[in-house]
Structure 1
Amino acid sequence: MCIAVFLWQSHPLYPFLLFLNRDEDHNRPTEALRWWEDGETLGGRDLLGGGTWLGCTRQGRIAFLTNFREASSFPAAKSRGDLPLRYLQSRKSPAEFAEDIHDEIALYNGFNLVVAHVLSKSMVYITNRPLHGHKLVTQVSPGIHVLSNANLDSPWPKCVRLREGFQQLLADNRSSEFPVKTMVEQVMTNTVKDQDTELPHVYTPETEYQLSSIFVDMQRPTGRYGTRSISTISIKSHSEVCFYERHLEEGDSWKEHTQQFVIIQNDESI
């Protein structure tokens, strides 16, 4: 399902700061954070669908994805993880990419997709489930945003908790460098769950209850399901990128991966 909180173009040191939990079946084959074969794309890989849920590039492109929670799905739908990868490996601006995929979004099950280019200060939110007055494509404004399994900034209780925890850590650190690993521990591993009256009531009450925490760990008929990785991407004002991932491997062992690089300032398409 996934949940993310991010800071966009509203901090003196960090133009972009993202924390994202990827929730998935424990038996789904996954590759941890690494540089892909093209040498330009950085992220984890879903080995079943071939795409990714979160990635960035040396040119300052960022893309991340969450599923939209709904009662039914289309078994023959295209893999949603292909969308972030297509943007990362394109030369289109976020707005151009949104326009490019407009006619095919019905081929996917419900999704939320954020694509951005840090150097041009452009970020777009795309969804194929625009409920309650939301649009298919929205320019993301500067500030703090939370994305879970409804539209961007929907006030689900877990989203409210995540936003408040993130805001408190920002206040505690002010304009200094953020202790990323400390922030992961204090915010992204939260297992507080909601009362029944606060749940979205899309799935059964027991399933909704288990999914209502920021960090998820539950048993389903198909096997164990929950938070498989916790990722952060921090980009400083001088274009230094740090991509950190804590990844759950077989045997319940957590491994850490970190990649750092400086954005190349020559993306001709932007």
Structure 2
Amino acid sequence: MCLIVLAWRPGHALPLVVAANRDEFYARPTATMAEWAETPGLIAGRDLQAGGTWLGIGPDGRFAALTNIRDPQAEQGSRSRGELPLRFLQGNQNPEVFLNELRREAAEYSGFNLLVGDRGALWHFNSQSGQAQALPPGIHGVSNAGLDTPWPKLRQAKAALAEALKAANEESLFALLADPRRPDDAALPDTGVGLDLERLLGSVFITSPTYGTRASTLLFTCADGKRCIIERSFGPEGTPSSEARFEI
């Protein structure tokens, strides 16, 4: 998962609204979002190569989502990052305890941001800083750096989320995730991957023959505990392939 924007509003009728894009190589085998037979109540996509997930919901109001940190100079971890959301969704620890324990083994994974939450709290962990924090109410976003790092596409997506919340419908949120605009070269971050790749990765919705946005996901959590999660999947060059929806 490479871009997540969310509105965290405790006390609101919709306390948590999430809009997220997963960017990945199209050749990486993936199962679309579904309920996992081995964990009733866990709904997520599945990485068929390493076995984990990038975003999902679980029993008791649990939510987890992951992005990587783009740093080609960093040492690669020995374990798959996709197991981290899965561990939280399959467990019963509260977000703070889970992340405090994760600190001790974070170095075993390549760089990541992890969001975990339940009915009462939403937390973020950045493996580079080693810091876990409870998110304050507001609109937040994370891509492939830190929380709310002002990369152009993240600023763009957060502003679009603020507008889309006024309409409060799924099409306005999917529209912000489908935005293909690329910023001017001067505004792009320099993460060490070269200008051509920075350009490709600079849009909210990424398309190419081999790498791009594989899934766009929306999550609506209601104050009464009901949740709706919707995933639209895409193939090379952004060709739509499927949609999955769950209301619980």
Bigger shift: residues 73-82 or 249-258: 249-258
**In structure 1, what is the Cα distance between the partners aligned to 2:165 and 2:76?**
41
1:209 counterpart residue number: 199
Identical amino acids, percent of aligned pairs: 32
Matched, 1:145 2:145: no
Matched, 1:5 2:8: no
Bigger shift: residues 141-150 or 2-11: 2-11
Matched, 1:28 2:28: yes
Tell me by how many angstroms 1:85 deviates: 0.4
1:123 counterpart residue number: 122
Matched, 1:46 2:35: no
TM-score (norm 1): 0.86
Distance 1:56 1:240, change over 3 A: same
1:160 counterpart residue number: 155
Which of the pair has more CA radius of gyration?
1
Tell me by how many angstroms 1:180 deviates: 0.7
Matched, 1:247 2:216: no
Matched, 1:259 2:228: no
Bigger shift: residues 21-30 or 3-12: 3-12
Distance 1:253 1:167, change over 3 A: closer
Deviations 1:92-113 (A, max 9, x none): 0001101111111001111000
**In structure 2, what is the Cα distance between the partners aligned to 1:93 and 1:113?**
14
Higher share in helix: 2
Contact 1:7 1:17 in 2 (8 A): yes
Contact 1:77 1:108 in 2 (8 A): yes
Deviations 1:123-151 (A, max 9, x none): 11111112xxxx61111111110111110
1:114 counterpart residue number: 115
Tell me by how many angstroms 1:249 deviates: 5.1
TM-score (norm 2): 0.94
Amino acid aligned to 1:256: E
Distance 1:17 1:77, change over 3 A: same
Deviations 1:183-241 (A, max 9, x none): 202x110011111211111110010011000000125xxxx000000001101111110
Deviations 1:139-170 (A, max 9, x none): 11111101111100111111111011111122
**In structure 2, what is the Cα distance between the partners aligned to 1:76 and 1:90?**
23
Tell me by how many angstroms 1:74 deviates: 3.9
**In structure 2, what is the Cα distance between the partners aligned to 1:111 and 1:42?**
21
Deviations 1:56-84 (A, max 9, x none): 11310000000001123545521000000
1:265 counterpart residue number: none
Matched, 1:196 2:197: no
| Partner SS for 1:218 | coil
Amino acid aligned to 1:149: N
**In structure 2, what is the Cα distance between the partners aligned to 1:43 and 1:231?**
10
| Partner SS for 1:22 | strand
Contact 2:208 2:236 in 1 (8 A): no
Contact 1:249 1:255 in 2 (8 A): no
**In structure 1, what is the Cα distance between the partners aligned to 2:88 and 2:12?**
27
Contact 2:7 2:140 in 1 (8 A): yes
Contact 2:6 2:16 in 1 (8 A): yes
| Partner SS for 1:24 | strand
| Partner SS for 1:184 | helix
Tell me by how many angstroms 1:250 deviates: 7.9
CA root-mean-square deviation:
1.7
Amino acid aligned to 2:60: Q
